[in-house]
């Protein structure tokens, strides 16, 4: 995504952060402390490439915001004069019950804040997300068809491919215990 963004924006592409590919997805760790440690182990700033530069960071998503915030701090600490953040997905505003560990909507940064609030939270000079239709165009579709989206985008749209039912009787706005089709 970063290389594509740089090409489209006609900006130079450089590896300002060296990523350790042996550290897994940090946003799914069970606690903030472990997530923060994971970010530091996974991402190492290249000070020589960052010092005095205006930097655009590109990530696939912002879920809780923990990783984004720490990376922005790292890049600033490495000497970047400006840090802008671009996201290759729409804001994650809804929980995913189909394989991604985002059970509680209150944990989702985009569920709690608008884009400006998220920008302030992560400490970036600017923040922008791809639009839903932009995401579909990137998947070689003209736009999102709400009658038949083409792939699950519930975490962005809130429109789940099957009706969700909390069969435990608990509150629906919290993590659902089991999912079933509503008959």
Residue 171: pLDDT band with limits 50, 70, 90: very low
Q: Do 91 and 68 contact (CB within 8 A), yes or no? A: no
Nearest C-alpha neighbor of 79 from the set 54, 56, 58:
54
Weakest-pLDDT range from 7-16, 146-155, 157-166:
157-166
Token duo for residue 130: 């791809």
Q: What confidence tens digit (pLDDT) does each residue in 51-78 have?
A: 999 999 999 999 989 889 999 999 999 9
């Amino acid at each position: 995504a970063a290389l594509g963004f740089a090409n489209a924006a006609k900006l130079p592409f450089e590896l300002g952060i060296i990523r350790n590919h042996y550290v897994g997805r940090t946003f799914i760790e069970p606690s903030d402390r472990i997530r923060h440690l994971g970010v530091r182990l996974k991402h190492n700033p290249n000070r020589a490439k960052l010092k005095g530069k205006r930097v655009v960071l590109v990530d696939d998503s912002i879920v809780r915001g923990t990783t984004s915030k720490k990376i922005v701090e790292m890049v600033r600490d490495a000497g970047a004069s400006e840090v802008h953040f671009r996201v290759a997905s729409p804001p994650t505003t809804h929980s995913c019950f189909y394989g991604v560990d985002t059970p509680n909507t209150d944990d989702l940064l985009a569920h709690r804040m608008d884009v400006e609030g998220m920008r302030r939270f992560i400490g970036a000079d600017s923040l922008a997300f791809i639009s839903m239709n932009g995401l579909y165009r990137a998947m070689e579709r003209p736009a999102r068809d709400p009658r038949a989206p083409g792939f699950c985008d519930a975490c962005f749209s809130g429109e789940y491919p099957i009706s969700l039912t909390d069969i435990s009787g608990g509150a629906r706005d919290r993590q659902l215990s089991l999912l079933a089709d509503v008959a």
